Amino acid sequence: MKINTLCVLGLGYIGLPTASTFATHGLKVTGVDTQPQIVTGLNNGEVHLFEPGLRTLVQAALKSGNLVVKDKPQPADAFIIAVPTPFKGNKQADMDFVKMAAESIVPVLAAGNLVILESTSPPRTTVDFVAPILEKSGLKAGKDFSLAYSPERVLPGQILRELIENARVIGGIDAASAEAGRDLYATFVRGEIVVTDATTAEMVKLMENTYRRINIAAANEFARLADRFQVDIWEAIALANRHPRVKILNPGPGVGGHCISVDPWFLVEAAPETAQLIRTARMVNDSQPDYVMEFIEKKVVGLANKRITVLGLAYKPDVDDLRESPAVEIARLLADNEAKVIVHEPFKPDFLVAGTRTAQTLEEAIVDADILLLLVGHTQFKELDPAAIRSKTSANIIIDAVNGWERVTWQSAGFDFYRIGDGKNLV
Ligand code: SAJ
């Protein structure tokens, strides 16, 4: 199927790079977002997200004339839905954005079109939820138009490279839909493109993120055990990972972001009686901020009035995304315990956490402090020179929740140094 024109709905972390990449590979792309400030900003060349290389890519796409940004879908050969699927308070998948996006396609859907859902969704969404909405056009899915599910699998921080290089799964509601999807992504994907059915593709996406989340839960539980048995978890994991079939991930302050912390719930919600392991992994990861709090309280007797500088609020290193971030939760918990908390997030220097003070610069954040608490391993934090920091802060205690710093160099610079999971060096 030859596709010349494309409409991408949702210009977030996935939709914007996807739309821009198709545009720089020669397709005529309309990027659609319902938020007026995003549409206006992009039309002025302003990119509202931070992702390495994204600004340059978007500006090139806009400049080429192949990418235009609008607030409504336009007629096109193909449509990609890349809107968020967060969860509601009750942990049910919030499909409102998908519903609105699909409904907005209905007036412009034409015979012969291809529609692809990329948003992470509970199993059977494409067949049972999206197809009936699109069929309100009077056209029949699989007969008059093609419909497929293709999960995005790109890692924030490396989106532009992974978009092109990763293997891509295309699940069609029928074989022709899958083939049409394959033709579309073949425009720029250099990884293998594998076709299957829509529900399998949905399940594959959820399994990938669930697998990672369970692995991280194991690492977090191992870290707690290591604290208890006076083992350095980082040393132990490095040794265990020398086994040819073992690849344990890294413990940390918890699991955040809009993917791994959310997606596995789509399976729990869809089959609560079956998804026991997933639920337990979730509980372990969710209680990791409390574990970090307990750890801090053990090292620092009494949190009240202690001046604690939180370094990093993002959900993981070198991104500006704070959604579901365990670091934000820990900052709040510290404030609830009457610590005097200063937060510093270099990727979002103005971000406010209730009950804490925001410092825009590192210098301002650390000058008056008792404890420096490293919650995100941003490269710029990892590269700090302990001797230089010594001369800029009143703090004497370092707590490292992410294995971002070398114990010996910080101790040599005169700090008391504590690391989560490093029971060997705490006794
Ligand atoms: N984390 C750890 N320890 C680790 C790795 C991660 O505690 O060893 C934490 C991070 O700090 C973060 C959370 O887990 O809080 C998630 O980070 P991540 O880098 O594992 O994943 P995401 O959420 O940024 O991106 C994931 C990726 N999925 C997989 O690797 C299976 C990505 O490929 C997906 O496209 C993305 O979810 C998505 O959009 O679904």
What's the CATH code of the domain at 36?
3.40.50.720
The most distant pair of C-alpha atoms in the chain lies apart, rounded to whole Å, by 73
Residue 285 CA to ligand 1 centre (angstroms): 13
Residue 23 has φ and ψ, to the nearest 5°, of -65, -40
Cβ-Cβ contacts under 8 Å for 52 (sequence gap 6 or more): 157, 158, 160
Does residue 96 lie within any of the structural domains? Answer: yes
Q: State the burial class of residue 126 (Cβ atoms within 10 Å of its Cβ: 0-12, 13-18, 19+).
A: buried
State the pLDDT at residue 41: 96
358 lines ligand 1 (CB under 6 A): no
Residue 156 CA to ligand 1 centre (angstroms): 8
| 8 membership: H or E segment, kind and range | strand 5-9
Q: Identify whether residues 302 and 162 lie together within a single domain.
A: no
28 lines ligand 1 (CB under 6 A): no
Does residue 39 lie within any of the structural domains? Answer: yes
Nearest to 67 by CA among 115, 108, 31: 31
Q: Which of 214, 255, 261 is the pocket-test mutation for ligand 1 (most atoms within 8 Å of CB)?
A: 255
State the pLDDT at residue 252: 97
Residue 260 CA to ligand 1 centre (angstroms): 6
Taking the CA atoms of 344, 345, 350 and 354 in sequence, report the sign of the dihedral they define.
Answer: negative
Nearest to 154 by CA among 273, 51, 43: 51
137 lines ligand 1 (CB under 6 A): no
Residue 110 CA to ligand 1 centre (angstroms): 37
Residue 272 CA to ligand 1 centre (angstroms): 23
Q: Identify whether residues 186 and 299 lie together within a single domain.
A: no
**Domain stops at, among 191, 216, 231:** 191
Cβ-Cβ contacts under 8 Å for 309 (sequence gap 6 or more): 341, 342, 343, 344, 359, 365, 366, 369, 371, 372, 373, 393, 395
DSSP, res 154: P
Strand duo 168-172 + 416-419: pairing: unpaired
Does residue 203 lie within any of the structural domains? Answer: no
Residue 249 CA: nearest ligand 1 atom is 8
344 lines ligand 1 (CB under 6 A): no
Residue nearest to atom 13 of ligand 1 (CA): 255
Q: Identify whether residues 38 and 178 lie together within a single domain.
A: yes
Residue nearest to atom 34 of ligand 1 (CA): 153
Quote the domain boundaries for residue 322: 288-425
Question: What's the domain count of the chain?
Answer: 2
155 lines ligand 1 (CB under 6 A): yes
Does residue 94 lie within any of the structural domains? Answer: yes
Q: Identify whether residues 323 and 183 lie together within a single domain.
A: no
Strand duo 67-70 + 28-32: pairing: parallel
CA distance linking residue 398 with residue 414, whole number of Å: 10
Query: What residues does 31 pair with on adjacent strands?
Result: 8, 69
Residue 326 CA: nearest ligand 1 atom is 15
Which tokens go with 353?
Answer: 């956490």
Helix, strand or coil, per DSSP, at residue 267:
helix
Q: Identify whether residues 187 and 330 lie together within a single domain.
A: no
Strand duo 307-311 + 371-374: pairing: parallel
Does residue 213 lie within any of the structural domains? Answer: no
Which tokens go with 139?
Answer: 């056209």
Angle in degrees, CA 24, 29, 32, rounded to 5: 125
Helix, strand or coil, per DSSP, at residue 260:
coil
Each residue's pLDDT tens digit in the chain (427 positions)? 789 999 999 999 999 999 999 999 999 999 999 999 999 999 999 999 989 999 999 999 999 999 999 999 999 999 999 999 988 877 788 999 999 999 999 999 999 999 999 999 999 999 999 999 999 999 999 999 999 999 999 999 999 999 999 999 999 999 999 999 999 999 999 999 999 999 999 999 999 999 999 999 999 999 999 999 999 999 999 999 999 999 999 999 999 998 898 888 899 888 999 999 999 999 999 999 999 999 999 988 889 999 999 999 999 999 999 999 999 999 999 999 999 999 999 999 999 999 999 999 999 999 999 999 999 999 999 999 999 999 999 999 999 999 999 999 999 999 999 999 999 987 5
DSSP, res 422: B
250 lines ligand 1 (CB under 6 A): yes
Q: Identify whether residues 16 and 160 lie together within a single domain.
A: yes
Does residue 382 lie within any of the structural domains? Answer: yes
252 lines ligand 1 (CB under 6 A): yes
Angle in degrees, CA 306, 250, 298, rounded to 5: 25
State the pLDDT at residue 87: 82
Residue 18 CA to ligand 1 centre (angstroms): 19
Angle in degrees, CA 353, 354, 359, rounded to 5: 45
Q: Identify whether residues 46 and 171 lie together within a single domain.
A: yes
Q: Which residues are catalytic?
A: 205, 259
Nearest to 220 by CA among 258, 261, 259: 261
Does residue 282 lie within any of the structural domains? Answer: no
Residue 162 CA: nearest ligand 1 atom is 33
Q: Identify whether residues 29 and 173 lie together within a single domain.
A: yes
Does residue 400 lie within any of the structural domains? Answer: yes
Q: Identify whether residues 48 and 179 lie together within a single domain.
A: yes
Q: Identify whether residues 170 and 296 lie together within a single domain.
A: no
**Domain stops at, among 143, 164, 191:** 191
Q: State the burial class of residue 196 (Cβ atoms within 10 Å of its Cβ: 0-12, 13-18, 19+).
A: middle
DSSP character string of 83-144: ----B-TTS-B--HHHHHHHHHHGGG--TT-EEEE-S---TTHIIIIIHHHHGGGS--BTTT
78, 278, 325 from 322: Cα distances, Å: 32, 23, 5
CA distance linking residue 424 with residue 427, whole number of Å: 7
**Domain stops at, among 191, 217, 244:** 191
